[in-house]
Structure 1
Amino acid sequence: MLSASKKRKSSSPPAEQAPDLSITADDQVHLHAAGYNESPERGLVHSMARFRSAPLDFIREVSLHVSGTGWRSYDKIVGQPIFYNGFSEEMKARVLSNPMLVSKIRELAAKRVDVEANEGLLREEAREGLRVGEKDRMVRRRVQIEESLMEVAETLTDNMICKMESKSFIRGAYYLATQLLTRAYHQGVHVSSEEVLRLRSVAEQAAKDKHSIIFLPCHRSHVDYVSLQIICYRLGLALPTVIAGDNLNFPVVGAFLQHAGAMWIRRSFGDDQLYTTLVQAYIDTLLQNGYNLECFVEGGRSRTGKLLPPKFGILGFLLDSVASGRVEDSIICPVSTQYDKVIEVDSYISELLGQPKPKENLMDFLSASSVLSLKLGRVDVRFHEPWSLRTFINEQRDRFSRLPLRIDPKEERIRILRTLGFKVLSDINDVSVVMPTALVGTVLLTLRGRGVGKSELIRRVEWLSERVRAQGGRVAHFASLPTSVVVERALEVLGPGLVGLVPGLPEDTYYAVDRFQLSFYRNMTIHLFILEALVSAAMYTKVKLGGGPEFQRISYEDLHDQVHFLSQLFRGEFIFPTEGLSVNLNKTIAGIENDNVIKVTRNPNDSSKIEFVELSNAERETGRESFDFYCFLIWPFIEASWLGAMSLMMLTPPVDKTGERWLDVKKVQDRAQLFGKTLYHQGDLSYFEAVNKETLKNAYQRFEEEGMILVTKSKDSKIPSTIRLADEWVPRRSLSNGKLVADGPLWTFAERISLSRREGKNRRDGATVQSRVLSLADVVGAPLWEEAVLDHGVLEQDALRAAMAKGRARRKTMTVSPRL
């Protein structure tokens, strides 16, 4: 019997990627050791036989699935029984009888009766003798409303719950999904043997305790939940109920997915108390009965390649189920799913460049067949060590109980929920595997030259692989294949649309064709180097000045201040260690000093105090290879933040516009993208990926949190959200010509960001840049003011007051002064 290896100590350096687990056609399980020398395309799930090339094998495979032979029967699963006739009706009955739901229905009915009575809708007779009759009418009316609400709840429940009650259907769905997946991802689905064996052991204990396993994967593709369902089926684990947005619940496909495990929920609950309670009741029912669950901690799919900040809606339901005591315990299992190439990345780029997201429909789903002839590489799925949600909650409550000031239960819940969300994301990052395409994409986007020769590309990929491992990351396991073969496979998967080959040269020379799309793959590695990148960007404020080494050194105080500024700027973009700025900074300095990237001058009287930091002689001799690498990783995000700050200049009212004016948020962000595209093509913006919609939205979110802008949202979805600059952040205009003047808090803030931007030829003449960029901001923003909402227009007053109060109360943590 196979057993999982012991858990590594966190302090020890990471070993070579754990061996893969292959389950072959003869149903034998094989552990591939680190020296395994067969095809790496053999993983957990293989491509199946095709009728044209191997008709007999194809017929044999189909017959095995139809008959449910061997593991295909899916009989002895680890988990609670779910596949039987009547399962859906039984689950619906459990949900509708949930005490919390019943209580909410009674509460809503009673409130409605009170409203009707106060408005005279329940006719009241003047005679004293009919008072009892009035009470009877109120009781009958309340019962009538309760029955109506229960009917609504029953319909909502039927549309919501998953209906996995047929093994034959599940077997067929598995066969179909595997055929589709392994034809697109021709190298199969790979997992770590250690992790799946550990997961199966945890699942066996959870089944005995009747505890659910809550899978919390990252979300980059619709393939995420397909691959996880396939893995659970293949390993004999009970399939999880997948919480999915009802935007995918369209004809034919919606019903298929619901019977394969999908639980449909609305994208937004609004103020619908009945629906909110119903979702909580269903989640409670699943967890109370030990049914596995799957939801995406980021909410929607990441269009940028890196993890998104956690969404706390469904996480809040899961937390409340256990924290309230309604559920004894559940097991959290963070999951990382990585791809050589993501099927939807083309549509992501269109969305990031401002194209509206198309609504899902059957025709688009059927057109997915076009990917079946592609060779997209492989899928790697990694499972973090599962942990108890009950234990996590108890630890957090114990920590809060030791604080000098007691916090109220509502604030405690918020803190626990945020900690839960970011812990899951951190766990996902810890087990994520860097794919070859990510290595190649990162190398191509962190070079100063136009292209790179094949031998240098191979060397850089090997260098980057070592850097990933040194940072505690993991590189996809390809046995003993030479790096040259791995690189060739990555180039084949990326294709000529992303990576070009210059013809007619003595050595194969590659260059980035579509930098915007390649940035998706580069962003899969940036979390490993974010602290080094911030330190390098802060040092760059001095390095770019040129001159001798003595002019390029930076004091520890200035370094600390700029790193603090940048980390606050990007706290919504990246996940930072929780030890605090000073601890993280000192660890990072020590690390890159040990790598001989920097030279540190310490106080002669106190070696623990750092006075100056500068590039080491060895780093200069190697052409700043490591330093430039870190800078190239973070520069596109610095550019995007600078663009966001400069686009706020468009919110400066023209001279002839008086009164308090508000602009449509969506139109402002659309114009900001147009502003960025113009700056890029005119040479004032170095990175085209800086104009992507998601990064700009994150920048605007940070500006709102800092009180730089005020944003109002109406309760009426038909009324757009609006925006304006906070009074103290409004730039001034010249009295003589009405043009924007390059001073004030907003300009100083943008200049603070610009200190760490990549130096470009167009930026060296500061006065020309100021005039050109500010004039362009006025030109691009002009159409916004033609439709400006005067004196709050149709804005709801409560939304406006909330935005104003929020802006006044918010304490600014980012300052525009030279030092923080």
Structure 2
Amino acid sequence: MAKASRPSSPPPPSAPDLSILGDQVTIHPAGYTETLSPAEAGTEQALLSQFARFRSSPLDFLREISLYVNGTGWRSYDHIIGQSIFYSGFSENMKAAVMATPTLRVKIAELAERRIRVEEEDGLLGNGDNGGVGGARRKEERRREIEESLKEVAEGLTDGMICKMESKRFIRGAYYFATQLLTRAYHQGIHVSSEEVLRLRAVAEQAEKKKQSIIFLPCHRSHVDYVSLQLICYRLGLALPTVVAGDNLNFPLVGAFLQHAGAMWIRRSFGDDTLYTTLVQSYIDTLLQNGYNFECFVEGGRSRTGKLLPPKFGILSFLLDSVLSGRVEDAIVCPVSTQYDKVIEVDSYVSELLGQPKPKENLKDFLSASSVLSLKLGRVDVRFHEPWSLRTFINQQKARFTQTPLHTDNSHPSGVVLKRRLLTTLGYKVLSDINAVSVVMPTALIGTVLLTLRGRGVGKAELVRRVEWLSERVRSQGGRVAHFAGVPTEVVVERGLEVLGPALVGLVNGLPEDTYYAVDRFQLSFYRNMTIHLFISQALVSASMYMKIKLGGGPEHQRISYEQLHDQVYFLSQLFRGEFIFPTEGLAVNLEKTLQSLETDNVIKVARDASTPSKILFVELSDAERECGRENYDFYCFLIWPSIEASWLGAVSLMMLTPPAGQSEKVWLNVKSVQDQAQLLGKTLYHQGDLSYFEAVNKETLKNAYQRFEEEGIIVVAKSRDARVQPTLKLAAEWTPKRRDGTGTVVAEGKLWDFAERISQSRREGKNRRDGATVQTRVLALADRVGRQLYEAAAMESSVVEEKAPRKRRRKSIETRSRL
């Protein structure tokens, strides 16, 4: 890529890294450490000193196990920073503390009183004078009976939920076992910043004195995330956090192991179970009141795409409520970024994104993971943002709401508004902090370069040059690149290619120069998505300019007015507000900064009004950018085009929802069925040449698109309080396309068609794609055909339900009579 005209300043010196590999903690200069030969390694060879293996050295192997079981030196885990954990009776003490919380006691009394009222109304408390002494006594006895029953239920739920830190010997063995597994897969170990670790230890020491918890909030890309953080805390002598885990992982053997290592189990959905909800809040209150460290994933589940997901507010809501209510004085928030040279689960992610059902976790699949543990997947890179006070955050945010005083009581309407604002701001602040400390790995640089090429492949020299260029651009955007420590970029690229493997990146042999190409673009997009957040503003501007540049002609025909540019950037940013984390200064400020950056880098020219220099007239590509073949500009477009393509597919798939001729517009369609058919439509369009990027058909992106469509009022979604009943949807009346009289075909006009066309203006022009009239005829006809199948299936399902309904009513009537 062409060098930017702005001289690149050298990155500021950073603190050395620490690598943790088994027993070895090695300090490195601020640099990326690769697997080197003994001749190359020098004093850094210690990085690769792994555990002894039984077959090669049985005596050393047994000696190492003995050191862990008996607890020698740091392995004893005696002098930790934080509150006392891992002692006999810990679980019982925690359960008793949870059951004694005022919040839980009040809820149990409330539920018991509610049940008493129901039984009174149903006449189940006897036929005597309920208002007399005897009736009052019966009510009180019944209330105590119900409360005792609820307490038994609560105790059972608590016992199944809480982490059971009971034995130091167990945790020493767990550390040894987990490190054995992790270092077999990630042979370069876990890397952290020494500066960040020292800062975290200092914060932990202060938190220990104040009896405050550290709340670790990591991003979530792999099951290795929580393993690596636990290993770091153990090795550096920090109290292990209690980790929120979905009960889908609580299967035999593995579930018990994780629970004793720090996992707390929660249901994936709480539904209307107010007792369970109160139990979770009471447990979190107890942990934070006693200063126990805590960990949960701000995104909820693992990201299948490599991008940060929007924040999930479930557990965050509990944490916020603990401090906001005053039940907890304060807690320390520490956002954490975990990056990988290669993520173990990406293969399964691709299968899920292409529509394969997610398999239920089980012991067999867990044990089969050993097949990947022999791979050399590089390193894990964990970075800690500077921790901050949750109480201070709340106070600062409340000060911003001075125009409308808000209560902190959740029962008050303004209290609900306050909490919603605080939750949203908290969630996106954490994501922003995670992005700020994330390190871009070499595999992400390589994947990004390979997926932003116009040609089929790239020569080795050009690949190295583009990786160097991209590294500079990442740093210029305030991002971090995994340090190379003086190792030539060519060597780093070679080893990154080795980690990715031939299944992802192919090599064409027999040519004058080694030439690489993307084999599995879908899987490589996971790694490209680890860099896109750094360039999202430039990408949106470039894609908006493309609506003019794609028309061709001379430079004067390809320039875009500022008003057009502003409108299209706003449109796209609204379209992707659930996909990316945008700067918070607002569109006008962000657009101005982005244009200045692109102008300084000599990618664009900005024409300003001579009389009012602050007023921009139009924007166009610079002469230098045209001379270098638009490769810098194209880079930004290639980053965002797959997302634009996915949104266009989502909009076109809504055409499927146009009711067939003679069909009632009151028919609601199953959301999952619609999204499955939208994915099938996308696969068809891709193979027929009307969709440029196969990754546009991924399930998560389509779900996000439909979420945006619901927020915009394009579709109406009906959800049941019963979790077993799947949500349904239909097009809003004003967005429903019309059909031609006579032919019954969908008319390519109206609000929905205009919306899809607005997205299409920034789509990449396909070399062999048939746009224009073809989209209006054949693509719409295909969408209509798939949609008819949806309506036919809905009609059949409706008739089956109607046929079964009388039987259910008769059965219910018979059951009612039998009870009477």
TM-score of the aligned structures, taking structure 1 as reference length: 0.93
> Residues 590 and 40 (structure 1 numbering): CA distance in 2 closer, same or farther, change over 3 Å?
farther
**Shift of residue 767 of structure 1?**
1.1
Q: Is the 8 A contact 1:662 1:789 kept in 2?
A: no
- The answer to whether 1:449 aligns with 2:438 is no
Q: Which residue of 2 aligns with 1:118?
A: 121
Q: 1:19 aligns with which of 10, 16, 21?
A: 16
Q: Distance between the aligned counterparts of 1:42 and 1:724, measured in 2?
A: 62
Q: 1:782 aligns with which of 759, 772, 788?
A: 788
AA in 2 matched with 1:468 = V
Q: Distance between the aligned counterparts of 1:201 and 1:313, measured in 2?
A: 30
- The answer to whether 1:733 aligns with 2:734 is no
Q: Is the 8 A contact 2:204 2:214 kept in 1?
A: yes
Runs of 5+ consecutive residues of structure 2 not aligned to the other structure:
1-8, 34-39, 408-412, 803-820
Query: What is the identity percentage for the equivalent residue pairs of Structure 1 and Structure 2?
Result: 76
How do 1:125-144 residues align onto structure 2 when only pairs under 5 Å count?
Answer: 125=128, 131-144=132-145
AA in 1 matched with 2:707 = Q
**CA displacement, residues 293-340 of structure 1 (integer Å, 9 cap, x when unaligned):** 000000000000000000001000000001111001000000000011
The more displaced of 92-101 and 753-762 is 753-762
Q: Distance between the aligned counterparts of 1:164 and 1:637, measured in 2?
A: 44
Q: 1:760 aligns with which of 760, 763, 766?
A: 766
The more displaced of 54-63 and 705-714 is 54-63
Q: 2:486 aligns with which of 480, 487, 491?
A: 480
Q: Distance between the aligned counterparts of 1:241 and 1:751, measured in 2?
A: 49
> Residues 291 and 739 (structure 1 numbering): CA distance in 2 closer, same or farther, change over 3 Å?
same
Q: Is the 8 A contact 1:18 1:477 kept in 2?
A: no
Q: Distance between the aligned counterparts of 2:746 and 2:45, measured in 1?
A: 62
> Residues 567 and 619 (structure 1 numbering): CA distance in 2 closer, same or farther, change over 3 Å?
same
Q: Which residue of 2 aligns with 1:311?
A: 312
Q: Distance between the aligned counterparts of 2:65 and 2:691, measured in 1?
A: 56
The more displaced of 784-793 and 617-626 is 784-793
Q: Which residue of 2 aligns with 1:246?
A: 247
> Residues 225 and 448 (structure 1 numbering): CA distance in 2 closer, same or farther, change over 3 Å?
same
How do 1:336-355 residues align onto structure 2 when only pairs under 5 Å count?
Answer: 336-355=337-356
**Shift of residue 792 of structure 1?**
9.2
Q: Which residue of 2 aligns with 1:672?
A: 678
Q: Which residue of 2 aligns with 1:97?
A: 100
- The answer to whether 1:743 aligns with 2:749 is yes
**Shift of residue 51 of structure 1?**
2.6
AA in 1 matched with 2:176 = Y
Q: Is the 8 A contact 1:77 1:237 kept in 2?
A: yes
**CA displacement, residues 68-125 of structure 1 (integer Å, 9 cap, x when unaligned):** 1111111100000011110100000000010110010000000100000011111122
Runs of 5+ consecutive residues of structure 1 not aligned to the other structure:
1-11, 797-820
Q: Distance between the aligned counterparts of 1:31 and 1:133, measured in 2?
A: 79
Q: Is the 8 A contact 2:330 2:389 kept in 1?
A: yes
How do 1:136-535 residues align onto structure 2 when only pairs under 5 Å count?
Answer: 136-402=137-403, 408-535=414-541
Q: Distance between the aligned counterparts of 2:280 and 2:111, measured in 1?
A: 16
Match of 2:659, SS state, is coil
**Shift of residue 30 of structure 1?**
3.4
Q: Is the 8 A contact 1:250 1:360 kept in 2?
A: yes
**Shift of residue 503 of structure 1?**
1.7
> Residues 31 and 687 (structure 1 numbering): CA distance in 2 closer, same or farther, change over 3 Å?
closer
AA in 2 matched with 1:110 = E
Q: Which residue of 2 aligns with 1:623?
A: 629
> Residues 214 and 795 (structure 1 numbering): CA distance in 2 closer, same or farther, change over 3 Å?
farther
- The answer to whether 1:538 aligns with 2:544 is yes
AA in 2 matched with 1:451 = G
TM-score of the aligned structures, taking structure 2 as reference length: 0.93
Q: Which residue of 2 aligns with 1:32?
A: 29
**Shift of residue 717 of structure 1?**
2.8
**CA displacement, residues 693-740 of structure 1 (integer Å, 9 cap, x when unaligned):** 000000000000010001111122332211100000110111121111
> Residues 52 and 229 (structure 1 numbering): CA distance in 2 closer, same or farther, change over 3 Å?
same
Match of 1:607, SS state, is coil
- The answer to whether 1:604 aligns with 2:604 is no
Q: 1:646 aligns with which of 643, 648, 652?
A: 652
> Residues 63 and 444 (structure 1 numbering): CA distance in 2 closer, same or farther, change over 3 Å?
same
**Shift of residue 609 of structure 1?**
1.1
**CA displacement, residues 631-672 of structure 1 (integer Å, 9 cap, x when unaligned):** 000000000000000000000011131351111110000000
Q: 1:85 aligns with which of 88, 103, 116?
A: 88
Q: Is the 8 A contact 2:186 2:378 kept in 1?
A: yes
- The answer to whether 1:72 aligns with 2:75 is yes
**Shift of residue 33 of structure 1?**
4.6
**Shift of residue 159 of structure 1?**
0.2
- The answer to whether 1:592 aligns with 2:592 is no
Q: Is the 8 A contact 1:433 1:476 kept in 2?
A: yes
**CA displacement, residues 480-506 of structure 1 (integer Å, 9 cap, x when unaligned):** 111111111111111111001112111
AA in 2 matched with 1:239 = L
**Shift of residue 56 of structure 1?**
4.5
Q: Is the 8 A contact 1:310 1:425 kept in 2?
A: yes
Q: Is the 8 A contact 1:43 1:189 kept in 2?
A: no
The more displaced of 365-374 and 22-31 is 22-31
AA in 1 matched with 2:401 = F
CA-based RMSD: 2.2
AA in 1 matched with 2:414 = D
Q: Distance between the aligned counterparts of 1:721 and 1:441, measured in 2?
A: 37
Q: Is the 8 A contact 2:333 2:388 kept in 1?
A: yes
Q: Is the 8 A contact 1:189 1:380 kept in 2?
A: yes
Q: Distance between the aligned counterparts of 2:716 and 2:511, measured in 1?
A: 56
**Shift of residue 18 of structure 1?**
3.8
**Shift of residue 373 of structure 1?**
1.1
Q: Which residue of 1 aligns with 2:584?
A: 578
Q: Which residue of 1 aligns with 2:814?
A: none
Q: Is the 8 A contact 1:13 1:470 kept in 2?
A: no
- The answer to whether 1:59 aligns with 2:62 is yes
Q: Is the 8 A contact 1:191 1:382 kept in 2?
A: yes
Q: Distance between the aligned counterparts of 2:231 and 2:563, measured in 1?
A: 53
The more displaced of 311-320 and 761-770 is 761-770
> Residues 31 and 341 (structure 1 numbering): CA distance in 2 closer, same or farther, change over 3 Å?
closer
Q: Distance between the aligned counterparts of 2:46 and 2:476, measured in 1?
A: 26
Q: Is the 8 A contact 2:24 2:46 kept in 1?
A: no
The more displaced of 42-51 and 290-299 is 42-51
The more displaced of 764-773 and 88-97 is 764-773
**CA displacement, residues 160-217 of structure 1 (integer Å, 9 cap, x when unaligned):** 0000110000000000000000100111110011101100110011001100000000
Q: Is the 8 A contact 2:329 2:391 kept in 1?
A: yes
Q: Is the 8 A contact 2:116 2:139 kept in 1?
A: yes
Q: Distance between the aligned counterparts of 2:220 and 2:405, measured in 1?
A: 39
> Residues 363 and 764 (structure 1 numbering): CA distance in 2 closer, same or farther, change over 3 Å?
closer
Q: Which residue of 1 aligns with 2:810?
A: none
**Shift of residue 65 of structure 1?**
1.5
Q: Distance between the aligned counterparts of 1:203 and 1:17, measured in 2?
A: 22
Q: Distance between the aligned counterparts of 2:712 and 2:359, measured in 1?
A: 33
**Shift of residue 60 of structure 1?**
3.3
AA in 1 matched with 2:622 = S
Q: Is the 8 A contact 1:40 1:479 kept in 2?
A: no
Q: Is the 8 A contact 2:21 2:183 kept in 1?
A: no
**Shift of residue 131 of structure 1?**
2.3
Q: Is the 8 A contact 2:234 2:240 kept in 1?
A: yes
Q: Distance between the aligned counterparts of 2:566 and 2:127, measured in 1?
A: 73
Match of 1:372, SS state, is coil
Q: Distance between the aligned counterparts of 1:666 and 1:524, measured in 2?
A: 28
**Shift of residue 61 of structure 1?**
2.3
